[in-house]
Amino acid sequence: MSGWLPFAPDASHAGADPRLAGARLTIDLSALAENYRLLVRQAAPAKVAGVVKADAYGLGIEPVARALWRAGCRTFFVALPEEGIALRAVLRDAEIFVLNGLFGPEAAPAYAAHRLMPVLGSQSDLSCWEAFGWDGDRPRPCAIHVDTGMNRLGLTADEAFAFAEENALTGALSPRLLMSHMACADDPRHPLNRQQLESFQAVKRAFGQTDSSLSNSAATFLGPAFAFDMVRPGIALYGGAPVNGRENPMLPVVTAEARIVQVRHARPGETVSYGAHAKLDRDTVIAIASAGYADGYHRAGSQAGVPLRGVVKQSACGVTHGRRVPVLGRITMDLTMFDVTDLGTAVAPGDWIELFGTNIAIDDAAAAAGTISYELLTSLGRRYHRTYVGGE
C-alpha cells in the first residue's frame, strides 16, 4: 500500500527491557483505530485528520501514525517541523501540517524539502513563506490560521480579510486550508463556542472554496455546524473524554502499570512517605510500586501535604487483583505506596498494579491529580517498557 511501511518497534519506542522495567505501558492500536473510525462516523461527511504532536501524545508517533494510516487517515497535524520530518520518514504520502507556524526564513527550506505544510498565523509567517518563492510553477501551499477567540496563534479577523483580498489579486500563496481553534468546546454550553463559530464563518466567506477546519476532539461532538471540511481530533483518538460531563464514547488505548517491588506491614500510629502526613489508624499492608512522578505519575495525586488536598474528590488509586486500592502518603520520584490491606495476603512482590487504563479511566486518574488527560499522557516517562498490541 502506498505510503505504508511495516511496523517493527525499536528501542526508542520499546523503552526498558521488560524483565528490568519498573513500569510498563500497553498501547492498543486496535482501540486507537476504532476510535478513529468512530470519529469518522461522528464527523461525516467531513474528513478526519489525526493530531500526532508531542510524540502522538506520548504513545509513539511511528506506531500510532502507521495504525491511523491503516485505518484510513491521510492527513496529520504536528506542532513542530522536527515532528513533521519524523512523520514524513514514516509515511511518505501523508499530508502533514505544522501547527506552530513557520520557524523563520532559515527553516523554510526544510518545510519544502520534507513536504510539510506550514500553518501560517502571523504577518511574518505570511511574508516569509511568500518570499521563499514558488513551488515549481505554483505558489507555495500552506494553511492559514485565524484567531477567533483563543488569543494564542492566528491572524486577527481583520488581518485574515486583508490577506484574502490581497492574495486574490497576487496569487502569491496557495492556501489549502483555513483553520481556527476552539477554546471551550469541552463545555457545550459555553457562549464562546457560538461566538467562535460565527466569527469563523465570516472569515471563511472571504476565502471562497478553500477547505476549512474548526473542530478539535470536543468540537467534533458539538454538531454538524462545527465540522466544516475537516476535524482535527487529538485526545479522543487516544481514549480521553472529548466532552466534560458526558459519558466517554472512546475506547481506552493505553494502560499504565507499575511493578510491586515490596510488600510491608505497618502498625497504627506509624506514618508513610515524605512529610509524615499519612498517619495510619490500623494495621496496614503497604505495596510499594516502582513508578513515581519521574514516570509522569504526578505527585499531586497524593493529596498529602499539597494544596489540592480537599479540592479534588479523592486521591489517586490503583487496581491490583481486581480491586481498587488507594495511594498512601506522598507519591515520590520513583516509588508509590498503595494501601492493599483489604486484599489480605494476595499481593506479592512481582505483581503489577494498574495506574490507569482498562479499569481506571485516564480522565479519572488525571482528575485525582488535579490535571487533565492530555498532561498525564504527555508526561509519561521513558522508563516504561512499551508493548504495542493489535492494529494489524
Is the peptide bond preceding residue 141 cis, with omega within 30 degrees of 0?
no
Query: Which pLDDT does position 15 carry in this prediction?
Result: 63
Residue (of 18, 57, 23, 14) closest to 334 by Cα position? 23
Query: Which pLDDT does position 8 carry in this prediction?
Result: 38
- Each domain of the chain, given as residue ranges in start order, spans 29-238, 254-360
Q: Cα–Cα distances in Å, from 143 out to 60, 125, 353?
A: 25, 11, 45
Helices within the chain (DSSP H only): 11-14, 29-43, 53-57, 61-71, 81-90, 108-113, 123-132, 157-170, 191-206, 362-368, 373-378
Q: Which of 36, 53, 293, 297 is catalytic?
A: 53
Considering the entire predicted model, what is its pTM?
A: 0.92
Q: Alpha-carbon distance 174 to 168, whole Å?
A: 10
Could you give the angle at the alpha carbon of 206 between the alpha carbons of 208 and 96, nearest 5°?
65
- 254-360 topology per CATH: Lyase, Ornithine Decarboxylase; Chain A, domain 1 (2.40.37)
Name the DSSP class of 223: -
Residue (of 189, 188, 191) closest to 217 by Cα position? 188
pLDDT in tens, the chain (392 residues): 333 333 334 434 556 688 899 999 999 999 999 999 999 999 999 999 999 999 999 999 999 999 999 999 999 999 999 999 999 999 999 999 999 999 989 999 999 999 999 999 999 999 999 998 777 777 889 999 999 999 999 999 999 999 999 999 989 999 999 999 999 999 999 999 999 999 999 999 999 999 999 999 999 999 999 999 999 999 999 999 999 999 999 999 999 999 999 999 999 999 999 999 899 999 999 999 999 999 999 999 986 544 444 455 567 999 999 999 999 999 999 999 999 999 999 999 999 999 999 999 999 999 999 999 999 999 999 999 999 999 76
Residue (of 72, 93, 130) closest to 5 by Cα position? 93
Q: Which of 36, 47, 204, 274 is catalytic?
A: 274
Query: Which pLDDT does position 6 carry in this prediction?
Result: 34
Q: Alpha-carbon distance 132 to 118, whole Å?
A: 12
SS3 374: helix
Q: Alpha-carbon distance 48 to 215, whole Å?
A: 10
> Can you point out the beta strands (E) in the chain?
23-28, 47-48, 50-51, 75-78, 95-98, 116-120, 140-145, 173-179, 211-215, 230-231, 254-266, 271-272, 278-279, 284-289, 317-320, 323-326, 336-339, 352-356, 385-389
Name the DSSP class of 144: E
Name the DSSP class of 274: G
**Nine-digit cell at 95?**
499530508
Phi, psi at residue 52, to the nearest 5°? Answer: -125, 25
SS3 68: helix
- Answer yes or no: 57 catalytic: no
Residue partners of 46: CB distance under 8 A and separation at least 6: 215, 227, 228, 229, 230, 231
Query: Which pLDDT does position 9 carry in this prediction?
Result: 40
Q: Provide the terminal-to-terminal Cα distance of the chain, rounded to the nearest Å.
A: 14
Query: Which pLDDT does position 277 carry in this prediction?
Result: 86
Give binding residues for substrate as ranges: 152, 333
Could you give the angle at the alpha carbon of 24 between the alpha carbons of 18 and 28, nearest 5°?
110
Q: Alpha-carbon distance 253 to 31, whole Å?
A: 6
Residue (of 252, 253, 261) closest to 332 by Cα position? 261
Query: Which pLDDT does position 314 carry in this prediction?
Result: 67
101: left (phi over 0), alpha (psi -120 to 50) or beta: left
What CATH superfamily is the domain 29-238? Answer: Alanine racemase (3.20.20.10)
Q: Cα–Cα distances in Å, from 98 out to 47, 85, 113, 144, 163?
A: 18, 10, 14, 11, 20
Query: Which pLDDT does position 133 carry in this prediction?
Result: 78
- Answer yes or no: 274 catalytic: yes
